[in-house]
C-alpha cells in the first residue's frame, strides 16, 4: 500500500505541490480569523448541577453573573462621599444601552460587601448582551468609556479575561516561533549539513501550524473552542511535523546516496519510513481522540483540534514532503554549509551491547529512577483554573486579586443555592371559552417568595463554617429562589467542599421541589466526579485501539502490552515532576508563574492523553526496526541490539528537535501552557533516554522469543497475504512460484521442465530447497528447462558457529573459469552479500562492489550497490560478474507450502529484467538469474 502511495505521490508531485501552495495561500487569511473567536472556560460538565446553576444565574435572575468588573479607587476620598458616586455613575451612563444589559453598583444594591475594608474602593458589575462572541464585540465598544477622571480604574471579569488570554496566546505563539525556528534551523543544518535539507522539515512544520489555525477556525463554526487550544495544538503540530519529516528525509537521502533514482527513492522511503510515520501518527491521534469521551468543552475542543493537526502533520510528511523530494532528488543536499556527520554507531552499539549483557541491572536501575520521579504524585491536589493562569501584570488578574484581598472574602465566589418552590393553583381553573377567544383552563399559581426558602436558609446558616446566607434573587416565572452562601475558607479547600456536600445532603422542606447547588467549589467537585467516571472508559478505548494498531504494526500480542506498560511508567514520571514543579512550586521562580498548591484536573487529563501519544511515538520507531532485524536474523538479542544501534542516533535527533519546540512554548505567559510543556518535556526526555534506550531493550532481552509470540489463530489476521496453509497468495502448487516481490514482472519466477518439487529454497545457511523448478545441488549446479536461461551458479560451504549465528561460507568454483563466490552477512545493513574473490584484487582488476540480497521489510534502505564491469580475463563468462549497474527494486521473502520437509525460506531479488534466486543446498549455496 505504501509503495503504491509513493508511486502516486511521485507521479503527481507537481500537481500536489501546486495544490498545496494554493491551499496554503487561500487558507491563511481564514485561519487568522481564529483570534477573537475562542472562549474561556469549558472546564465544567454540561450535565452537572453546578453547570445548571450557572446557567440559571444568567437566564432566571436578569443576568446576575457579571461579565465585566470595574474596580474604582481613590487614595483619599471614601466611597460614601457623594463625589465618588457621581463620578462612577456619570461614567456608567455613557455606556451604550445596545451593548449593556444590566449595571450594579454599591449605590444601587446597598450591599456593604461592594465596599473595600479601607472604604476607598468599590466596584461595578456590568452584564453585556448576547452570546460569547457578541459580548467580546460589546466589550470592545465599552472598554474605552470606563475611565473616570480623578479615580484609579482597572477592569476585570470573565469577558476581559478572555480578551487578555487571546492577546497573551498570540504573543506566546509569536515568541515561541521566534525562539524555536532559528534554533531548529541550526540543529537541522548540523544534522543534514545543507540548508535545503534543513529547511524542508521547517516547511512541513509551518504548513502544519497553518493547518492547525484553519482546523480550529472551522471548529468555531460548529462548537466552542477553548482559548487554551491554540498553543497546545500549534506546539503538537509543529513538533510532530518536524519529527516525522526528519525520519522521511533521512530515509530518502540514504536511498539517493545508494544510487536509487528519484522515483525509487520516494517509493522505498514511503514503504519504510512512511509506514512507520503512518502508524505513529495514527497512534498519537488515537490517544488525543480519547479526549472526545469527556463532556468538558476544554478537553473536547483540544482533543479534536490536536488529533486533526497530528493527522495534518502526518499527511504533510507523507504527501507534501515526498513530492518535494521527488522534485529535488540529489539536490536535497544542495547549499552545503557543514560537513555531513556520519557516525558509525559506536556509541549506540556500546549501549546496546551493555544492555544485552546486563539486562537485569538496567531493568532494576531504570525502574528505581522512574518510581522516584513519580513519587511526588502521591500527594497531588486538584484545583481549577482561575485568573492566576495569566501573568501577574495582567489587569484582569490584578482586579480579581484586589477584590479577593480588599473586600469581603469570597464575595465573588459564594456558594449558589437554587431552591425550587412547590407551588399550587391560586384558584379553581377557569372554564374554557370559545376557541380563539383567549380563555385558558389553567388558573394562576401562587407566587414564589423569599419566605418560602427562609426555613431552608436558616438551616444552611446554622452549618459549621457558614458565615451568612443572603437572598440573591427570585424567579417568579420558574418558581425559584436563589440563595448566596458565604463562608470563611478557600473555595478549593476541603472545608468548602464539605459545606457543599452538607447542603446537597440536606432534606428539602415540604414546600420545596428540588435544591440545586452551584458556585466555584461545587463546580470543582462536579468536575472531579465527571473525570473520574469517564477516565476508565478513556483508558479502555485508547488502550484497546492502540493495542490493535501496534498488533498490526508488529505482529505480536506481547509487544503492544509491553508498550502500554512502558507508557504508564513514562506518564507516572511526568506527573511526579509536574506536582513537584507546579503544585509544590519548585520551578515557580524559574518559569515565572504563581503556584496555587493544586494542579488543574482537566489539564492533567490533557497531559495524560498527549504524553501517552508522544511516549508511544518513539517506541513505534524503535520496535519497527527491531522487528525488521528479528525477521531477518531470527535472533531476539541481536535484533534488539541492532534495532537500538540503527535507530539511536536519528531518534535522539528527533527528540532533541521536539524538545526545542516544547521548550520554546514552555516560556508562554499562560500557566496551563507552561504546565503542559513541562509535562511533555519530561516525558520525552524520560522516554528517549531511560525508557526507549535502556528499559525497553532490557525487557525485550529478558523476554527473548516471547516478545514475538502470536497465537496461531491470529496469524492470518495479522498477515492478510497468507493463506490457511501458510503460503502466500499466488502460490498454486509446490514447485511453481507465482507472483514475486513488489515491482517484479508478472509471472514471477517461471517453472522449468523436469524440476523437482520445491518452491523457494532456504536462506544462506539453510538446507535443501528448490526455486520454482531450479534443479541440481552442489558445485556447478545449473537451472534448465523451458523459460529459464541459466546465467551463473556457484556453490560453497557454510555453517553456524557455536552460538547458532550464521557464519560466512566460501563458494567453490562455478565452472567455466568463473571466479569463486563468497557469501557473507551484510555488515552495512540487513541481508547478505556476494562478491567475486579473485585473490589480489589490485593486480587482477578485482571487484569494487557488492551485490546485496536477502533484505525484507527493512526501515532503512538496502544499499544499492553496483555490479562491476567484468575483468578482461573473464570476458568468456561475463554473466558471472555482470555488466554494469543493476537497477535495484525491493526484495521479498516468500514461503510456500511443499511436500518435502527440507523446503524452507528462500530469497529473491528482482532487478530490471531478471530475477536472482539464492537457495541453500548441501555443502553451500546456489544462485541463478532467471529472465522474466
pLDDT in tens, 58-102: 788 765 678 899 999 999 989 999 999 999 998 898 888 888 888
Give residue for cell 531479488: 909
Q: Residue 674: helix, strand or coil by DSSP?
A: helix
Banded pLDDT at 879 (limits 50, 70, 90): very low
Task: Inform me whether the pLDDT recorded for 616 exceeds 70.
Answer: yes
- More confidently predicted of 371 and 429: 371
- pLDDT of 96 reads 87
Banded pLDDT at 894 (limits 50, 70, 90): very low
Strand-strand pairing, 599-600 and 382-383: parallel
Please write the tens of the pLDDT for every residue from 771-782: 333 333 332 332
Task: Inform me whether the pLDDT recorded for 666 exceeds 60.
Answer: yes
- For residues 203 and 328, the answer to whether their CB atoms sit within 8 Å is no
Banded pLDDT at 676 (limits 50, 70, 90): confident
- More confidently predicted of 192 and 284: 284
Torsion of CA 700, 704, 707, 709, to 10 degrees: 180
Q: In what order do the strands lie in the sheet with 914-921?
A: 891-894, 906-910, 914-921, 924-931
Banded pLDDT at 786 (limits 50, 70, 90): very low
Helix (H) or strand (E) holding 797: strand 796-800
- pLDDT of 589 reads 84
**Alpha carbon distance 423, 513 (integer Å):** 9
Mean pLDDT of all residues belonging to the chain? 74
Task: Inform me whether the pLDDT recorded for 922 exceeds 70.
Answer: no
- pLDDT of 121 reads 92
Task: Inform me whether the pLDDT recorded for 854 exceeds 60.
Answer: no
* CA dihedral sign, ordered 790, 794, 799, 800: negative
- pLDDT of 417 reads 93
Give the residue-averaged pLDDT of 318-340: 83
Task: Inform me whether the pLDDT recorded for 665 exceeds 50.
Answer: yes
Q: Residue 13: helix, strand or coil by DSSP?
A: helix
Banded pLDDT at 444 (limits 50, 70, 90): low
Of 731, 718, 801, nearest to 772 by C-alpha is 731
- In percent, the amount of the chain with pLDDT more than 70 equals 73
Task: Inform me whether the pLDDT recorded for 891 exceeds 60.
Answer: no
- pLDDT of 833 reads 53
**Alpha carbon distance 852, 582 (integer Å):** 55
Task: Inform me whether the pLDDT recorded for 413 exceeds 50.
Answer: yes
Of 742, 698, 700, 722, nearest to 856 by C-alpha is 742
Task: Inform me whether the pLDDT recorded for 206 exceeds 80.
Answer: yes
- More confidently predicted of 867 and 74: 74
**Alpha carbon distance 474, 104 (integer Å):** 17
Q: Is the pTM of this model over 0.75?
A: no
Angle at 832 between CA 191 and CA 640, to 5 degrees: 55
**Alpha carbon distance 245, 320 (integer Å):** 10
Asked which of 138-142, 434-438, 525-529, 851-855 is least confident by mean pLDDT, the reply is 851-855
Which cell goes with 543? 488502550
Banded pLDDT at 927 (limits 50, 70, 90): low
Task: Inform me whether the pLDDT recorded for 760 exceeds 60.
Answer: no
Task: Inform me whether the pLDDT recorded for 724 exceeds 70.
Answer: no
**Alpha carbon distance 717, 708 (integer Å):** 15
Asked which of 165-174, 364-373, 427-436, 785-794 is least confident by mean pLDDT, the reply is 785-794
Q: Residue 656: helix, strand or coil by DSSP?
A: helix
In sequence order, the 6+-apart residues with CB closer than 8 A to the CB of 717 are none
- More confidently predicted of 866 and 99: 99
- pLDDT of 872 reads 36
Angle at 274 between CA 271 and CA 278, to 5 degrees: 125
**Alpha carbon distance 774, 772 (integer Å):** 6
In sequence order, the 6+-apart residues with CB closer than 8 A to the CB of 356 are 637, 640, 641, 697, 701
Q: Residue 906: helix, strand or coil by DSSP?
A: strand
Ranked by mean pLDDT, which of 32-36, 437-441, 692-696 comes out on top? 692-696
Banded pLDDT at 345 (limits 50, 70, 90): low
Please write the tens of the pLDDT for every residue from 801-812: 333 333 333 333
Task: Inform me whether the pLDDT recorded for 756 exceeds 60.
Answer: no
In sequence order, the 6+-apart residues with CB closer than 8 A to the CB of 724 are 716
Task: Inform me whether the pLDDT recorded for 279 exceeds 80.
Answer: yes
Q: Residue 747: helix, strand or coil by DSSP?
A: coil
Helix (H) or strand (E) holding 53: helix 49-60
- pLDDT of 680 reads 85
- More confidently predicted of 591 and 35: 591
- pLDDT of 900 reads 34
Please write the tens of the pLDDT for every residue from 497-536: 999 999 999 998 888 889 999 988 898 899 889 999 999 9
Which cell goes with 242? 518536524
Please write the tens of the pLDDT for every residue from 641-658: 888 888 888 888 888 888
- pLDDT of 430 reads 61
- pLDDT of 443 reads 61
Which cell goes with 782? 545449473
- For residues 753 and 785, the answer to whether their CB atoms sit within 8 Å is yes
Largest distance between two CA atoms of the chain? 123
Give the residue-averaged pLDDT of 545-566: 86
- For residues 610 and 283, the answer to whether their CB atoms sit within 8 Å is no
- pLDDT of 887 reads 32
- pLDDT of 722 reads 36
Give the residue-averaged pLDDT of 39-48: 80
Helix (H) or strand (E) holding 453: helix 450-461
- pLDDT of 369 reads 93
- pLDDT of 678 reads 87
- pLDDT of 725 reads 29
- More confidently predicted of 714 and 747: 714
Banded pLDDT at 390 (limits 50, 70, 90): confident
Amino acid at each position: 500500500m505504501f509503495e503504491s502511495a509513493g508511486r502516486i505521490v511521485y507521479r503527481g508531485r507537481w500537481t500536489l505541490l501546486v495544490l498545496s501552495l494554493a491551499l496554503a495561500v487561500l487558507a491563511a487569511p481564514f485561519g487568522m480569523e481564529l483570534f477573537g473567536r475562542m472562549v474561556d472556560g469549558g472546564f465544567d460538565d454540561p450535565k452537572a448541577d453546578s453547570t445548571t446553576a450557572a446557567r440559571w444565574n444568567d437566564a432566571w435572575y436578569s443576568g446576575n453573573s457579571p461579565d465585566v468588573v470595574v474596580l474604582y479607587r481613590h487614595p483619599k476620598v471614601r466611597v460614601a462621599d457623594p463625589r465618588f458616586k457621581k463620578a462612577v455613575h456619570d461614567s456608567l451612563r455613557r455606556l451604550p444601552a445596545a451593548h449593556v444589559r444590566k449595571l450594579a453598583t454599591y449605590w444601587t444594591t446597598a450591599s456593604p460587601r461592594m465596599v473595600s475594608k479601607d472604604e476607598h474602593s468599590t466596584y461595578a458589575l456590568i452584564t453585556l448582551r448576547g452570546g460569547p462572541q457578541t459580548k467580546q464585540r460589546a466589550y470592545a465598544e465599552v472598554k474605552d468609556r470606563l475611565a473616570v477622571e480623578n479615580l484609579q480604574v482597572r477592569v476585570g471579569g470573565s469577558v476581559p479575561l478572555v480578551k487578555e488570554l487571546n492577546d497573551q496566546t498570540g504573543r506566546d505563539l509569536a515568541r515561541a516561533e521566534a525562539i524555536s525556528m532559528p534554533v531548529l534551523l541550526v540543529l537541522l543544518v548540523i544534522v543534514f549539513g545543507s540548508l535545503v535539507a534543513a529547511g524542508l522539515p521547517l516547511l512541513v512544520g509551518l504548513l502544519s501550524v497553518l493547518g492547525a489555525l484553519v482546523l480550529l477556525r472551522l471548529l468555531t463554526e460548529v462548537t466552542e473552542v477553548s482559548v487554551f487550544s491554540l498553543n497546545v495544538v500549534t506546539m503538537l503540530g509543529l513538533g510532530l511535523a518536524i519529527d516525522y519529516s526528519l525520519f522521511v528525509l533521512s530515509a530518502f537521502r540514504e536511498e539517493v546516496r545508494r544510487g536509487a533514482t528519484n522515483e525509487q527513492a520516494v517509493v522505498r522511503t514511503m514503504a519504510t519510513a512512511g509506514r512507520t510515520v503512518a502508524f505513529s501518527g495514527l497512534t498519537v491521534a488515537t490517544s488525543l481522540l480519547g479526549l472526545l469521551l469527556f463532556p468538558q468543552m476544554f478537553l473536547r475542543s483540544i482533543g479534536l483540534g490536536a488529533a486533526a493537526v497530528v493527522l495534518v502533520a502526518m499527511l504533510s510528511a507523507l504527501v507534501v514532503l515526498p513530492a518535494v523530494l521527488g522534485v529535488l532528488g540529489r539536490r536535497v543536499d544542495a547549499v552545503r554549509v557543514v560537513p555531513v556527520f556520519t557516525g558509525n554507531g559506536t556509541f549506540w552499539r556500546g549501549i546496546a551491547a551493555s544492555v544485552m549483557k546486563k539486562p537485569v541491572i538496567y531493568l532494576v536501575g531504570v525502574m528505581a529512577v522512574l518510581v522516584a520521579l513519580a513519587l511526588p504524585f502521591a500527594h497531588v491536589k486538584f484545583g481549577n483554573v482561575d485568573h492566576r493562569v495569566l501573568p501577574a501584570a495582567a489587569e484582569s488578574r490584578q482586579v480579581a486579586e484586589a477584590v479577593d484581598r480588599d473586600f469581603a472574602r469570597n464575595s465573588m465566589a459564594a456558594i449558589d443555592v437554587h431552591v425550587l418552590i412547590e407551588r399550587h393553583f391560586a384558584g379553581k381553573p377557569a372554564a374554557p371559552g370559545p376557541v380563539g377567544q383567549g380563555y385558558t383552563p389553567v388558573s394562576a399559581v401562587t407566587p414564589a417568595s423569599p419566605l418560602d426558602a427562609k426555613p431552608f436558609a436558616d438551616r444552611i446558616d446554622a452549618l459549621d463554617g457558614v458565615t451568612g446566607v443572603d437572598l440573591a434573587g427570585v424567579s417568579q416565572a420558574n418558581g425559584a429562589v436563589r440563595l448566596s452562601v458565604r463562608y470563611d475558607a478557600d473555595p478549593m479547600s476541603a472545608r468548602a467542599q464539605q459545606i457543599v456536600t452538607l447542603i446537597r445532603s440536606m432534606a428539602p422542606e415540604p414546600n420545596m421541589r428540588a435544591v440545586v447547588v452551584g458556585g466555584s467549589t461545587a463546580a470543582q467537585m462536579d468536575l472531579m466526579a465527571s473525570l473520574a467516571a469517564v477516565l476508565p472508559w478513556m483508558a479502555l478505548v485508547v488502550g484497546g485501539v492502540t493495542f490493535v494498531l501496534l498488533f498490526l504494526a508488529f505482529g505480536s500480542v506481547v509487544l503492544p502490552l509491553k508498550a502500554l506498560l512502558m507508557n504508564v511508567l513514562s506518564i507516572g514520571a511526568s506527573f511526579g515532576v509536574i506536582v513537584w514543579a507546579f503544585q509544590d512550586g519548585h520551578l515557580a521562580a524559574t518559569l515565572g508563574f504563581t503556584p496555587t498548591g493544586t494542579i488543574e484536573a482537566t489539564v492533567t487529563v490533557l497531559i495524560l492523553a498527549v504524553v501517552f501519544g508522544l511516549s508511544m511515538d518513539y517506541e513505534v520507531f524503535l520496535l519497527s526496526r527491531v522487528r525488521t532485524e528479528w525477521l531477518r536474523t531470527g535472533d531476539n538479542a541481536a535484533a534488539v541490539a541492532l534495532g537500538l544501534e540503527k535507530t539511536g542516533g536519528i531518534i535522539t535527533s528527533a527528540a532533541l528537535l521536539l524538545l526545542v519546540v516544547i521548550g520554546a512554548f514552555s516560556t508562554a505567559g499562560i500557566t496551563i501552557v507552561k504546565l503542559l510543556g513541562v509535562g511533555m518535556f519530561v516525558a520525552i526526555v524520560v522516554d528517549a533516554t531511560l525508557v526507549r534506550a535502556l528499559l525497553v531493550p532490557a525487557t525485550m532481552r529478558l523476554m527473548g522469543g516471547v516478545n514475538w509470540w502470536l497465537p496461531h489463530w491470529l496469524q492470518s489476521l495479522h498477515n492478510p497475504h497468507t493463506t490457511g496453509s501458510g503460503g502466500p497468495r499466488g502460490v498454486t502448487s509446490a514447485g511453481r512460484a507465482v507472483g514475486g516481490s513488489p515491482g517484479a514482472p508478472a509471472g514471477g519466477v517461471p517453472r522449468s521442465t523436469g524440476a523437482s518439487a520445491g518452491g523457494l529454497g532456504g536462506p544462506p545457511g539453510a538446507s535443501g530447497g528448490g526455486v520454482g523448478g531450479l534443479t541440481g545441488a552442489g558445485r556447478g549446479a545449473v537451472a534448465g528447462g523451458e523459460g529459464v536461461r541459466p546465467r551463473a551458479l556457484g556453490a560453497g560451504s557454510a555453517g553456524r558457529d557455536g552460538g547458532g549465528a550464521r557464519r560466512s561460507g566460501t563458494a567453490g568454483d562455478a565452472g567455466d573459469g568463473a571466479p569463486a563466490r563468497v557469501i557473507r552477512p551484510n555488515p552495512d545493513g540487513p541481508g547478505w552479500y556476494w562478491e567475486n574473490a579473485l585473490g589480489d584484487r589490485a593486480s587482477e582488476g578485482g571487484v569494487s562492489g557488492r551485490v546485496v540480497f536477502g533484505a525484507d521489510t527493512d526501515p532503512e534502505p538496502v544499499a544499492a550497490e553496483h555490479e562491476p564491469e567484468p575483468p578482461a580475463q573473464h570476458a568468456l563468462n561475463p554473466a558471472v560478474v555482470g555488466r554494469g549497474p543493476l537497477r535495484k527494486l525491493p526484495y521479498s521473502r516468500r514461503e510456500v507450502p511443499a511436500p518435502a520437509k527440507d523446503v524452507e525460506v528462500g530469497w529473491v531479488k528482482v532487478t530490471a529484467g531478471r530475477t536472482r534466486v539464492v537457495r541453500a543446498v548441501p555443502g553451500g549455496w546456489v544462485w541463478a538469474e532467471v529472465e522474466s
